[in-house]
């Protein structure tokens, strides 16, 4: 049996490629954590050796496998590496479509691991609580967290986007991440196994801070086995957690029973906006919650006459947590002003509350939500319409129009006309402001913009009539 030491995903990937090329069967190899890994987990340098790069063997890596593997790599179970290698081996030895066979034991286990890691990431997003401490450089927000899996470095960029303007540190038993408003850095783990209480955080930070600068820093202990304490048991909200947990498991059962992708189990019965808005952050009605920074709920006048419905938050909205505050929002604002509509008097929301995107390098490219996602998110939109009770609804673009009017609706054919709608006196659809932004030809862009404003003028007129009739 060959023992291969790996520290992280890149390591595994490189080794796996070399082993595959050398036709080493999964039974002949055992991946184990490198001796150093307990300690060097937090070091920033990746492994440097380039073995395997020179191999020319053809290796099949199915679509989606690398993403899956990268996520599974964060799982705490050591056997994940062997499992990943076994699956990669099988795919390359006459089981090309193995990943689609979800009754296969190996595939099933991989998918379960992936799910566990994604859950843990979501939990970390939702439950990390920062406490303000003073340090040499000023204010810093420090949090202690005990993730179930080795996700601490993977979540760093998410927190950097979400809390970009403040200096913060998240300390965990696996390592720490720090943000200085510009750069993410990794640091050593915090060995204490209990969450600090209240002012202890200040204390913890001070000793941690001191330790970073102590060259004779003690060897970090092995962290493996000790995960008995649920990490959030000590949060200020601890009181409500059993309840949340119970609700969550009920929801799961409910979701599994109906086998449906839907926000419905997450939407509170109380449809007041101040109840809905915080609740949407816990929605797991479709897959999209896993990747976005946060849900973006609607906002605006609580009893608005008009509700505007876009598609989904964009990159800027995802970070700021507010609808239509990026480039498309700017176009919308201008057009509204031109049409004589005050944005502060309307309510603005989206058909889908989580940003769907594809990562290209550092950029996140908008991806149109699928029908199932739009349908899954509809209960939030219904609840918002219930809360605001608008007289007019304006659908911006096809996604919103289809969500509100059904699949036969065509913007090109049906725009600029008032239709009856069960939730309002009328609904009008028009193009999405992003569509205008995407038009390459300036002439056409200008013409389309004028048409867009014309549609909005129809809305403004109708609002005036309604206002008078009120």
State in angstroms the smallest separation of the CB of 181 from ligand SF4. 28
Least separation in angstroms between residue 355's CB and ligand URA is 9
How many CA atoms are closer than 13 Å to the CA of 231, on its beta-carbon side? 21
Please say whether the beta carbons of 265 and 285 come within 8 A: yes
> Mask of contacts with ligand URA, 286-315, x by CB under 6 A?
------------------------xxxxx-
Which span sits near ligand SF4 by CB under 6 A: 31-39, 175-183, 205-213, 284-292?
284-292
CA distances from residue 151 to 66, 78, 158, 398 in whole angstroms, order as listed: 17, 15, 12, 37
Tell me, by CB under 6 A, how many residues bind ligand SF4. Answer: 16
Query: Could you give the CA distance from residue 343 to residue 391 in angstroms, rounded to a whole number?
Result: 16
Does 152 sit near ligand SF4 (CB under 6 A)?
A: no
Contact range with ligand URA by CB under 6 A, out of 29-37, 116-124, 323-331, 378-386: 323-331
| x-or-dash string of contact with ligand URA, 148-177, rule CB under 6 A | ------------------------------
CA–CA dist 411, 399 (Å, integer): 10
Task: Find the part of the chain contacting ligand SF4 (CB under 6 A) among 127-135, 222-230, 287-295, 326-334.
Answer: 287-295
Q: Does 427 bind ligand SF4 (CB under 6 A)?
A: no
Please report the sign of the dihedral spanned by the C-alpha atoms of residue 61, residue 65, residue 69, residue 70.
Answer: positive
Taking Cα atoms as reference points, which of 304, 260, 265, 298 lies closest to residue 283? Answer: 265
Q: How far apart are CA 90 and CA 283, in angstroms?
A: 36
* Contact criterion met (CB below 8 Å) for 377 and 371: no
Q: Which of 352, 411, 424, 431 binds ligand SF4 (CB under 6 A)?
A: 352
Which of the choices ligand SF4, ligand URA, none does residue 295 contact, using the CB cut-off of 5 to 8 A by kind?
ligand SF4
Which residues make Cβ contacts (< 8 Å) with residue 321, sequence separation at least 6? Answer: 293, 294, 296
Task: Give whichever of 155 and 375 is closer to ligand URA, judged by the CB atom.
Answer: 375
Is position 170 an interface residue for ligand SF4 (rule: CB under 6 A)?
no
The DSSP secondary structure of 433-464, one letter per residue, reads HHHHHH---HHHHHHHHHHHHHHHHHHHHHHH
* Binding partner of 328, given ligand SF4, ligand URA, none, CB within 5-8 angstroms per partner class: ligand URA
Q: How many Å apart are CA 265 and CA 254, to the nearest integer? A: 7
**Is position 317 an interface residue for ligand URA (rule: CB under 6 A)?**
yes
Is residue 267 part of the contact set for ligand SF4 (CB under 6 A)? no
Closer CB to ligand URA, 79 or 161, in the complex: 161
Distance CA 272, CA 388 (A): 9
**Stretch binding ligand SF4 (CB under 6 A), from 63-71, 100-108, 211-219, 286-294:** 286-294
Task: Find the shortest distance in angstroms from Cβ 400 to ligand URA.
Answer: 8
Distance CA 139, CA 405 (A): 50
**Contact of 392 with 428, CB cutoff 8 Å:** yes
Q: Output DSSP code: residue 96.
A: T
Q: Which residues contact 165 (CB under 8 A, 6 or more apart)?
A: 181
Q: Which of 326, 339, 388, 462 binds ligand URA (CB under 6 A)?
A: 326
CB of 282 to ligand SF4, least distance (A): 9
Judged by CB under 6 A, how many residues of this single chain contact ligand URA? Answer: 13
Q: Which residue is nearest to ligand URA (CB)?
A: 310
b/e per residue 108-124 (b: at least 16 CB within 10 A): ebbeebbebbbebbbbb
279 binds ligand SF4 (CB under 6 A): no
Binding-site member from 9, 81, 324, 357 for ligand URA (CB under 6 A): 324
Q: Which among 29-37, 103-111, 159-167, 325-333 is the span making contact with ligand URA, rule CB under 6 A?
A: 325-333
Interface residues with ligand SF4 (CB under 6 A) are 263, 280, 283-286, 288-289, 295, 352-354, 373, 376-377, 380
Residues that bind ligand URA (CB under 6 A): 310-314, 317, 323-324, 326, 328-329, 350, 434
């Amino acid at each position: 049996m060959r023992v291969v030491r790996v520290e992280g995903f890149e390591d595994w990937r490189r080794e796996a490629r070399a082993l595959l090329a050398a036709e080493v069967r999964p039974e002949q190899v055992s991946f184990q954590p490198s001796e150093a890994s307990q300690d060097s987990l937090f070091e920033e340098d990746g492994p440097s050796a380039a073995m395997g790069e020179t191999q020319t063997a053809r290796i099949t890596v199915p679509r989606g496998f690398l993403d899956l593997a990268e996520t599974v790599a964060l799982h705490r179970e050591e056997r994940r590496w062997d499992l990943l290698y076994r699956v990669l081996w099988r795919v390359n030895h006459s089981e090309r479509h193995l990943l689609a066979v979800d009754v296969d034991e190996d595939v099933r286990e991989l998918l379960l691991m992936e799910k566990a890691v994604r859950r843990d990431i979501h939990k970390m997003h939702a439950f990390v609580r920062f406490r303000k401490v003073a340090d040499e450089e000023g204010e810093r927000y420090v949090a202690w967290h005990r993730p179930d899996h080795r996700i601490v470095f993977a979540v760093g960029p998410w927190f950097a986007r979400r809390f970009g303007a403040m200096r913060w540190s998240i300390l965990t038993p696996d390592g720490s991440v720090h943000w200085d408003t510009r750069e993410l850095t990794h640091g050593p783990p915090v060995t204490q196994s209990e969450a600090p209480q209240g002012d202890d955080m200040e204390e913890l930070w001070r000793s941690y801070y001191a330790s970073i600068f102590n060259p004779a820093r003690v060897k970090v202990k092995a962290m493996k086995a000790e995960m008995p304490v649920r990490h959030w048991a000590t949060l200020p909200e601890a009181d409500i957690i059993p309840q949340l947990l119970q609700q969550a498991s009920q929801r799961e059962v409910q979701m599994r029973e109906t086998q449906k992708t839907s926000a419905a189990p997450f939407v509170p019965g109380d449809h007041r906006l101040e109840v809905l808005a915080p609740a949407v952050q816990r929605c797991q009605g479709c897959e999209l919650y896993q990747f976005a920074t946060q849900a973006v709920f609607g906002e605006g006048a609580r009893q608005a006459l008009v509700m505007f419905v876009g598609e989904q938050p964009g990159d800027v909205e995802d970070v700021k947590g507010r609808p239509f505050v990026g480039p498309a929002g700017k176009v919308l604002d201008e057009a509204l002003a031109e049409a004589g509509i005050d944005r502060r008097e309307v309510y603005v929301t989206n058909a889908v509350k989580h940003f769907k995107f594809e990562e290209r390098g550092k950029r996140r490219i908008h991806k149109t939500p699928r029908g199932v996602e739009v349908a899954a998110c509809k209960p939030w939109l219904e609840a918002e319409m219930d809360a605001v009770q608008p007289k007019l609804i304006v659908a911006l673009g096809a996604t919103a129009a289809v969500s509100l009017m059904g699949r036969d609706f065509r913007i090109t054919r049906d725009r600029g006309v008032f239709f009856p709608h069960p939730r309002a006196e009328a609904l009008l659809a028009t193009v999405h402001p992003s569509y205008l932004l995407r038009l390459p030809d300036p002439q056409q862009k200008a013409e389309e913009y004028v048409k867009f404003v014309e549609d909005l003028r129809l809305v403004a007129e109708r609002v005036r009539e309604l206002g008078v009739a009120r």
